[in-house]
Amino acid sequence: MEQRALGRSGLTVSALGLGCMSMSALYGPPADKQEMIKLIRGAFARGVTLFDTAESYGPFTNEALLGEALAPIRGQVVIATKFGFDIDPETGERRGGLNSRPDHIRQVAEASLKRLRTDHIDIFYQHRVDPDVPIEDVAGAVKDLVAAGKVRHFGLSEAGIATIRRAHAAHPVTAVQSEYSLFHREAERETLPVLEELGIGFIPFSPLGAGFLTGKIDETTVFAPSDFRNAVPRFSIEARKANAALVALLKRVAARKGATPAQIALAWLLAQKPWIVPIPGTTKPHRLDENLASCAVALTAGDLREISEGTARISLKGERLPEAALKMTGR
């Protein structure tokens, strides 16, 4: 698989990573552990070297899953995990909102290292910006972990450009992770130009619009009771009907290219910048195969123009997250 450099950090990873959250949380009941270990190792065998998790996924169970799956190949992969939510280390229950106090960051790092069965975390993201803790203090805590050899690279998730600049000035930021796809393009306005200026890599999560861009979801789709999409305005029945026009555009391009809508969506993302590394997640081996095959889909200037002109005529309906979750982004 093609390798991509995350900005000017010196860290190189596969052009597509694997988001592991859905294996343990938010998209319904957790998947079978042994099947997920097999899938993770299968992704590595196909060339994937970037694997994304967080202490909050489960909580804790997703890190443990990834640690077990990658233990035999730890030296050949890049593991990204996250801190920043206030989670009881004994029960796994959320005790409140956010917590990026330096002492808490250190505690999370030690616990994550154990669950991941490793002596270092390759990318340690602040999961959401904590307005009660100066970002310089957060960067300083990560800097100390880097000096101790426990963390290799500092990352931010869903941060605003002012925070990105301040954090990068305190300690180099290797990667920023935010939602980005044809289903949500806000990053193009400010985030991508700033990352290019500073030499920071970009890791889009939900590159398939939480599954919508696969073309397998319509107004008749019923999600599992525990699936977070039940609470997302963009996945209301009315929004799904209105937003079907975007999927129809992808299907037209896909039919001409001998590809699937998901492959076109991922190929479009890969074509935006050479330092963008999407992390589509899945629990299904055939979807993994489909996603990885997107790397072989070459979109011409004409294809990209058709997508650009087509999306300009489509007005998407519904917010991408519930109101409370949106308030924790872009700080």
Residues taking part in catalysis: 57
CA distance 182 to 167: 28
User: CB-side exposure of 62: number of CA atoms within 13 Å?
Assistant: 26
DSSP letter, residue 150: S
CA distance 49 to 1: 9
Enter the tokens of residue 129.
């910006």
CA distance 32 to 23: 8
Q: Which amino acid is at 69?
A: A
Strand partners, 98: 85
**Helical H runs in 96-150?**
102-116, 135-147
Instruction: Evaluate the CA torsion angle 197, 329, 40, 109 in order and state its sign.
Output: positive
